């Protein structure tokens, strides 16, 4: 398993101090949340792995600690069919390829941007690679915050950016053979809504 974990303390007024070192198994100091500021995150954890993950365990880990008033999460699954040239085709497998190191850094940058936009306590992003079967879990994003609004927005933002900016290459095996999955215009439109001058819908 390729594991990349980064934990950092961030304050909107001291961004130069917000950089942390990549590490594994970091103990998170939840009291580092800058509750007096409008933006910030106490911990960011990004993992790119072949192994499956336990959504219940991930959520339970985020529940522990002071100031947590809301946890919002999203779990993406491999669909058993997809639309190709206007018709539905059954999907046999989905294979994800990535460049180790580069992919983790790209995901961490997306998570860090979410931490700059909203006041969060924790943010976890788990993305799998390799060959997966229909209904397999593929991605997990969870945000914890003192209030639900920031947690909902951060989770939504991260998923939109994962769909358009994360460097993964996806290949489906269908009844018609293998094909590389192309980006969707609907995903691009969803990501564009975060480009508004106020940086949040």
Q: Could you tell me the domains of the chain?
A: 36-192 (3.90.1170.40)
From residue 55, how far is each of 61, 126, 139, 153 by CA, in Å?
A: 10, 10, 10, 20
Query: 19 has which bridge partners?
Result: none
Which phi and psi (to 5°) does residue 150 adopt? -65, -40
Dihedral angle of Cα 122, 128, 181, 151, to the nearest 10 degrees? -10
Question: How far does the chain reach from its first CA to its final CA, in angstroms?
Answer: 36
On the CB side of 188, how many CA atoms lie within 13 Å of its CA? 4
The sheet that has 43-49: what strands, in order across it? Answer: 22-23, 3-6, 43-49, 122-128, 137-145, 70-77
How, if at all, do strands 87-98 and 3-6 pair? unpaired
R_g over Cα of the chain: 17
pLDDT in 10s for each residue of the chain, 201 residues: 333 333 333 333 333 333 332 322 223 333 333 333 346 677 899 999 999 999 999 999 998 878 899 999 999 999 998 776 677 889 999 999 999 999 999 999 999 999 999 999 999 999 999 999 999 999 999 999 999 999 999 999 999 999 888 899 999 998 888 888 877 766 667 667 778 555 545
| pTM summary value | 0.76
């Amino acid at each position: 398993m390729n594991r990349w974990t980064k934990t950092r303390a961030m304050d909107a007024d001291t961004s130069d101090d917000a950089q942390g070192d990549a590490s594994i198994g970091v103990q998170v100091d939840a009291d580092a949340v800058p509750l007096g500021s409008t933006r910030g995150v106490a911990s960011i954890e990004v993992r790119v792995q072949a192994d499956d993950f336990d959504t219940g365990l991930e959520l339970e880990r985020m529940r522990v600690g002071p100031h947590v008033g809301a946890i919002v999460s999203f779990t993406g699954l491999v669909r058993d069919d997809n639309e190709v040239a206007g018709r539905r085709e059954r999907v046999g497998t989905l294979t994800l390829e990535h460049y180790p190191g580069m992919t983790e850094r790209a995901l961490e940058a997306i998570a860090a941007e979410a931490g700059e936009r909203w006041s969060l306590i924790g943010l976890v992003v788990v993305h799998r690679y390799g060959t997966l079967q229909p209904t397999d879990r593929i991605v997990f994003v969870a945000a914890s915050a003192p209030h639900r609004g920031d947690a909902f927005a951060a989770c939504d933002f991260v998923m939109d950016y994962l769909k358009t900016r994360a460097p993964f290459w996806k290949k489906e095996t269908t009844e018609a053979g293998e094909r590389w999955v192309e980006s969707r215009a609907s995903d691009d439109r969803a990501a564009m809504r975060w480009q508004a001058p106020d940086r949040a819908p």
